[in-house]
Amino acid sequence: IAHPFLSDKFLAQETINMRRLFLPKSQTWVYEDDERIAGFICLLDNVVGGIFVHPDWQRKGVGKLLMDQARSVHDTLELEVFKANYQAITFYNKYGFKVASERHDKATNQPMLKLSYKKGE
């Protein structure tokens, strides 16, 4: 839903990469509601590798709880987000993330923003 501008092939490969490469190396917190996973956030050191909230639980505070957990562990956070993912950028802006740089992603032919957060700024 957050990435309609990405190809199905790319998303399928990223799903495999997430499961095989990223998740085993990351610190992950899961939010459950009635034994169903409502969302999760993954950190590799202070890098937010992903924050995902099931559509049924979006705009109900789950993303906030997950981001609050990440901020409780690290005073600085970084992440990359597709520039076309306006919903995510709006969410990150609420938490004080600022644009640190911009780059062109060759694999997707999309611009990406590197965002950073520093406690107290």
pTM: 0.85
- Residue among 119, 96, 93, 107 at smallest CA distance from 3: 107
Indicate if the pLDDT at residue 53 is higher than 80. yes
Radius of gyration of the chain measured on its C-alpha atoms: 14
80-94 average pLDDT score: 93
Task: Calculate the dihedral angle through the C-alpha atoms of 83, 87, 91, 94, rounding to the nearest 10 degrees.
Answer: 80
Phi then psi for residue 69, to 5 deg, are -60, -45
Instruction: Report residue 118's pLDDT band, with 50, 70 and 90 as the boundaries.
Output: very high
Sign for the CA dihedral angle at 29, 52, 18, 109 comes to negative
Q: Average pLDDT, whole number, for the chain?
A: 91
Report CA-CA distances (Å) from 84 to 3, 29, 41, 55, 108: 8, 26, 21, 19, 12
